[in-house]
Amino acid sequence: MSAVAAATATQTPPVAVVDTMSGRVRKRLTSRTASIISLLIAVLWTIPTFGLLLSSFRPEREIKTTGWWTAFTNPSFTLENYENVLFGTSSTQLLSYFVNSIVIALPATIFALILCSLAAYALAWIDFKGRNWLFIGIFALQIVPLQMALIPLLQLFSNGAHVGSLTIVPDLNLTGSFVTVWLAHTAFALPLGTYLLHNFISEIPREMVEAARVDGAGHGAIFRKLMLPLITPALASFGIFEFLWVWNDLLVALTFTGGTKDVAPLTVRLAEMAGSRGDRWERLTAGAFVSLIVPLVVFLSLQKYFVRGLLAGGLKG
């Protein structure tokens, strides 16, 4: 939730603390127990992922007959699982789903960024009647779980919209195309995205915008030339959050792609494999890591933006 971001942004680290003899002794004692417990938690939190990663490099027969911890005493590693999973000819081949994930996540993120920043700009800098109410209304829509929208949206995409015999939206038969997933993700991103970018855009000094107005610039020019460069950090944070949100999403993809190889993303395929091929661990371990690699790279390389975006978006969905 954005409240979290607001809370974390304003805090400063405390100054150094007192240093007495007894304090130091006690500190060392407590810090040893502290180290042990924290190490224990860190290990507990890392082992599950590590076990899966290690297993994904073990030969099929070994994965299925021995625990991954035996690989330390009896090492035997291969890239075969990844080869099979990425380029193999079988039905569990994942490369096309990987491509689908990209084809879904990139445009969905960019559409959301564009629409959110436009709306946020209007709500911050264009005067009109009912502006505050509209802002509160968009903000309040965060309250609606996306479960509330799934059934009617799917009906709209497959049957169009009709009031009596009057057709408002024709039967476009969009089900199972990327367009539906893009549209759904963009709509679901709007309340949070508009709100976050509005926070940022409305902080831009009034004099800058007014100076540009006096020079005769219209809102279009101000947005393009003044705002866009200034709000890039906010766009990056929200963009990374939204990209990963879409990349990791299962529910929206499952509902709108119909699970076919042409459009379904990795998450849909993996969830299906975990169900129907629950024992094909040589595929599942490597497959899971193929899907994790993008979030992990983003996490490790853009940690600052990533954490900021994630904290701000805790409520989404």
Query: Using CB under 8 A, which residues numbered 86 to 115 contact other proteins?
Result: 87, 93, 95-96, 99-100, 102-103, 106-107, 110-111, 114-115
Looking only at residues 248 through 277 of this chain, which bind other proteins when binding is defined by CB under 8 A? 248-251, 254-255, 267, 270-271, 274-275
Instruction: Tell me if 141 contacts other proteins by CB under 8 A.
Output: yes
Distance CA(255)–CA(247), nearest Å, equals 15
Kindly state the smallest distance separating residue 257's Cβ from other proteins, in Å.
12
How many C-beta atoms surround the C-beta of residue 303 within 10 A? Answer: 10
Looking only at residues 226 through 245 of this chain, which bind other proteins when binding is defined by CB under 8 A? 244
Looking only at residues 286 through 305 of this chain, which bind other proteins when binding is defined by CB under 8 A? 287-288, 291-292, 295-296, 298-300, 303
Query: Is residue 1 packed enough to be buried (19+ CB in 10 Å), middle (13-18) or exposed (0-12)?
Result: middle
In this chain, which stretch among 51-59, 74-82, 207-215, 230-238 interacts with other proteins, using CB under 8 A?
51-59
What are residue 207's DSSP bridge partners? Answer: none
Looking only at residues 55 through 84 of this chain, which bind other proteins when binding is defined by CB under 8 A? 55, 63-69
Question: Closest CB to other proteins among 80 and 316?
Answer: 316
Distance CA(224)–CA(159), nearest Å, equals 38
Taking a C-beta distance cutoff of 8 angstroms, is the pair 316, 247 a contact? no
Q: How many residues bind other proteins (CB under 8 A)?
A: 130
- Of the candidates 154, 148, 176, the one whose C-alpha atom is nearest the C-alpha of residue 268 is 176
Kindly state the smallest distance separating residue 74's Cβ from other proteins, in Å.
12
Looking only at residues 6 through 35 of this chain, which bind other proteins when binding is defined by CB under 8 A? 6-8, 10-15, 17-18, 23, 30, 34-35
* Two structure tokens written together for 237: 């944070």
Question: Closest CB to other proteins among 20 and 207?
Answer: 20
Q: Which of 57, 243, 281, 305 binds other proteins (CB under 8 A)?
A: 281
Question: Closest CB to other proteins among 123 and 234?
Answer: 123
In this chain, which stretch among 72-80, 152-160, 204-212, 231-239 interacts with other proteins, using CB under 8 A?
152-160
Distance CA(261)–CA(267), nearest Å, equals 12
Question: Closest CB to other proteins among 45 and 207?
Answer: 45
Distance CA(253)–CA(266), nearest Å, equals 10
Q: To the nearest 10°, the Cα dihedral for 37, 40, 42, 48?
A: -150
What are residue 169's DSSP bridge partners? Answer: 161
Looking only at residues 195 through 214 of this chain, which bind other proteins when binding is defined by CB under 8 A? none
Instruction: Tell me how far apart the 2 most distant CA atoms of the chain are, in Å.
Output: 86
Kindly state the smallest distance separating residue 207's Cβ from other proteins, in Å.
21
CA atoms within 13 A on the CB side of 276: 8
